Amino acid sequence: MKKIILLLLVITFASCKKEAEPTENLPQHDESAVAVSGEALFSGKGTCTACHLPDQKVIGPSIAEIAKIYKENNGSIVAFLKEEAEPIVDPSQYETMKTNFAITKKMSEAELKALEAYMLSFAK
């Protein structure tokens, strides 16, 4: 009888340990992916790549051009994406960019900061 109880205890502990590990690790993984990857937001949820390429103007100015102008002017891309700051790159095309604010205004501060950091990394 003692042996059976001991065996049950060992099994219970062993299965507890196995179950605890994956549930501890998974959410952490997901959060860090969302929090740090401005690149993933830019091409994914933000749909920014539809209009912005790294070095070439398509519908919108290139990321490199935007980054250069924001660095020179010490501008805030975060504020721009919240529609709290005026356009400084190509105001004549502002209406087109405005259609994307529906997406960026729903983003968290951390997501907007990640997008800003990603874009500024293209400044030469």
Helix, strand, coil content of the chain in percent (nearest 5): 70, 0, 30
Q: Minimum CB separation from ligand HEC for residue 22, in Å?
A: 33
Neighbours of 33 (CB within 10 A): 10
Q: Which is nearer to ligand HEC, 13 or 94 (CB)?
A: 94
Positions touching ligand HEC (CB under 6 A) are: 46-48, 50-52, 59-61, 66, 77, 80-81, 87-90, 93-94, 96-97, 99-100, 103-104, 115
83 in helix, strand or coil? coil
Q: Minimum CB separation from ligand HEC for residue 88, in Å?
A: 4
Q: Which is nearer to ligand HEC, 37 or 93 (CB)?
A: 93
Neighbours of 104 (CB within 10 A): 22
Q: Which is nearer to ligand HEC, 17 or 124 (CB)?
A: 124
CB 42 within 8 A of CB 48: yes
